[in-house]
Amino acid sequence: MGKYQERQSLAGRVAVVTGGAGILGAECAEALTDSGASVAVVDISIERALETADNLSQKYDLPVVGFQCDVSQKDSVNEMVSQVEQSLGPIDVLHNNAASKSASLENFFEPLETFSLETWRQVMAVNVEGMFLVAQAVGVKMAERGRGSIIQTASIYGSTMGPDQRIYEGSEYEGRAINTPPVYSASKAGVHGLTLYLATYWARAGVRVNTLTPGGISSGQNGVFNDRYSNRVPMGRMAQAHEVASGMLFLASDSASYVTGQNLFIDGGLSAW
């Protein structure tokens, strides 16, 4: 293996992916496993976490274990971290990726005028508070060991732009009318602010913290959304999950050993307009 290939390898590392059974999380868990890491697939649903982990462990013949965690609850987070380290060893990479659409999709997609404070708080509890709780629990241990990489998932709608409301006229996701609510933008903006703080706080302790900012990922949107969104992107299409996972791998690996506090946009050039 050449020296640059070696720096890209995660062989012998332990990685955690929160929201690990979701569309992006599962792809990133596979990318980490494919790069040689032992991976903890962490999700609010233990059934989905175990299923994702089982599929990956059979495909790659590496340790991949599913864990349940409610990232909005400190005790649940601390228990998860303890279980991961007992099962797989000290954590080298954290993909802090879990996000919520609240307890009700109907409430999550309410327009701004009728969006409830209860739903706002449910989303913030996961998207911001949960992001902090997991970073705190894992990052403190990384800092004590003098090494680690934390990658936190944000969004273009929290970093450089607000949603173009024209995209959502007639747009659906798996048959449901959709929009981007205000709490999504606000919470994702908080993610990068947290990244900047943690990056400077832990830099001398050898812990790198970066933000991963995907554009829209093609998953279950209808043709109206796909066409309208793609027409705004310089590359003329939506992202595929594996393209975002590849950027995460760079930030996780020693190839990014002098990269911290940065926001990596994987958006087909949308933020360059």
CA distances (Å), 242 to each of 33, 34, 160, 249, in order? 13, 12, 23, 10
Residue 176 pLDDT > 90: no
222-266 pLDDT per residue, tens: 999 999 999 999 999 999 999 999 999 999 999 999 999 999 999
Q: Is residue 272 part of a domain?
A: no
| pLDDT score for 1 | 82
| pLDDT score for 220 | 83
CATH code of 162's domain: 3.40.50.720
This prediction has a pTM of 0.96
Residue 70 pLDDT > 90: yes
- Residue 3 pLDDT grade (very low, low, confident, very high; cuts 50, 70, 90): very high
Q: Is residue 65 part of a domain?
A: yes
- Residue 175 pLDDT grade (very low, low, confident, very high; cuts 50, 70, 90): confident
Q: What is the span of the domain harbouring residue 191?
A: 3-265
Instruction: Kindly report the number of other CB atoms within 10 A of residue 82's CB atom.
Output: 11
| pLDDT score for 160 | 82
Mean pLDDT value across residues 177-187: 95
Residue 72 pLDDT > 90: yes
Distance CA 136, CA 124 (A): 17
Q: Is residue 14 part of a domain?
A: yes
Domain count for the chain, please give it: 1
Can 184 be counted among the known catalytic residues? yes
Amino acid at residue number 93: V
Distance CA 193, CA 177 (A): 30
Q: Is residue 270 part of a domain?
A: no
Q: Is residue 108 part of a domain?
A: yes
| pLDDT score for 159 | 83
Output 1 or 272, whichever has higher pLDDT.
272
Residue 174 pLDDT > 90: no
Handedness of CA 65, 74, 43, 194 (dihedral sign): negative
- Residue 107 pLDDT grade (very low, low, confident, very high; cuts 50, 70, 90): very high
Mean pLDDT of the residues in the chain:
96
Catalytic residue, candidates 157, 168, 184, 229: 184
Mean pLDDT value across residues 76-89: 98
28-65 pLDDT per residue, tens: 999 999 999 999 999 999 999 999 999 999 999 999 99
Instruction: Kindly report the number of other CB atoms within 10 A of residue 179's CB atom.
Output: 17
Proportion of the chain above pLDDT 70, given as a percent: 100
